Amino acid sequence: MTYQQAVKANEAFLDRLSRQERLHRPTIAVWFSCGVVSAVAAKIALDSYSDKYDVRVLNTPISEEDDDNRRFLRDCEEWLGVRVETVIASKYPTSSAVDVWDKRGAMSFPHGAPCTVHLKKEARQEWEAIHKPDWHVLGFSYDELKRHQKFVQTERENVLPVLIDRKLTRDDCGRLIISAGINPPGIYAEGYPNANCIGCVKATSPTYWNLVRRTRPKVFAERAEQSRRLGVRLVRVKGERIFLDELDPLATGSPLNTMKFDCGLFCEEWKDAT
């Protein structure tokens, strides 16, 4: 879906809402990332606030996500009882991380990746400038309290910590999704720690990149080619950055379930301990 198509679709959706209701009800923007944590956050927000607030569930899609993320989104729409709105940055109508990396001439910077900045953060800021929400809900679980605190300090103060208040962890959210009869995104079953793009450039672990090599060899080859062309050493082995095409297929680092990098509305690199 192009940016223009997304705008038209959102306009048609808004036309079906009661204009009078929207004028008098404050807005809560729920940022849904196609992961189990943000899905549960959306459910809690809708159940807790829909009687007094206009709760809108929003998604910033990325072309490099697994196709099953879209299936999960549709299943969540049925569970939530609302439509998930699409938000795409106007500068990148393809919503492609690969396009961002080529245009910026880089894949990762010391404080994060440009794909998150342009495809998620700027898309969110454009939407905010038009719709001016009163509150935000993001997928920060109880075990991500520090990330929530950082976001509140550096990005937005008006965040409702619906999962943290209820002490719901990432694992708790996974169990709630399954108990609701929804299959989590298929990418989890392949061993990935989140539903990010496949071949996420925030990861530096040889464990992660060799998982990509095994499960998605085409993606691994594409990342290896682009990173070599742009001069980006994405993986770290024993404290040294190397190119993907230099990575030993048997190299390992920390276990996948300890990885905390995520593609939310701000970006952090996950550093392997090796």
Residue 210 and residue 247 in contact, taking contact as beta carbons nearer than 8 Å: yes
Lowest mean pLDDT among 13-17, 114-118, 266-270: 266-270
Residue 97 and residue 115 in contact, taking contact as beta carbons nearer than 8 Å: yes
* Residue 74, domain CATH: 3.40.50.620
Residue-level pLDDT at 20:
47
Q: Helices (H) and strands (E) in the chain — how many of each?
A: 13, 6
What's the rounded mean pLDDT across residues 188-211? 91
In a domain, 98, yes or no: yes
What's the rounded mean pLDDT across residues 119-136? 95
Instruction: Supply the range of the domain harboring residue 102.
Output: 3-186
Closest listed residue to residue 246, CA positions, set 261, 260, 233, 256: 233
For residue range 75-103, what is the model confidence (pLDDT) as tens digits?
999 999 999 999 999 999 999 999 999 99
Would you say residue 270 has pLDDT above 60? no
* Number of domains observed in the structure of the chain: 1
Q: State how far the Cα of 199 lies from the Cα of 107, in Å rounded to an integer.
A: 11
Q: State how far the Cα of 36 lies from the Cα of 185, in Å rounded to an integer.
A: 8
In a domain, 60, yes or no: yes
Any residues with CB less than 8 A from the CB of 92 and at least 6 apart, and which? 3, 99, 100, 118, 119
pTM equals 0.82
In a domain, 228, yes or no: no
Closest listed residue to residue 267, CA positions, set 97, 67, 93, 87: 97
In a domain, 209, yes or no: no
Residue-level pLDDT at 155:
84
Would you say residue 13 has pLDDT above 70? no
Q: How confident is the model at residue 1 (pLDDT cuts 50, 70, 90)?
A: low
Q: State how far the Cα of 159 lies from the Cα of 266, in Å rounded to an integer.
A: 14
Q: State how far the Cα of 63 lies from the Cα of 94, in Å rounded to an integer.
A: 7
For residue range 26-59, what is the model confidence (pLDDT) as tens digits?
999 999 999 999 999 999 999 999 999 999 999 9
Closest listed residue to residue 163, CA positions, set 144, 178, 135: 144
In a domain, 178, yes or no: yes
For residue range 225-266, what is the model confidence (pLDDT) as tens digits?
999 999 999 999 999 999 999 999 999 887 765 555 455 544
Helix, strand, coil distribution of the chain in percent, nearest 5: 50, 10, 40
Hey, what are 25's tokens? 């009800």
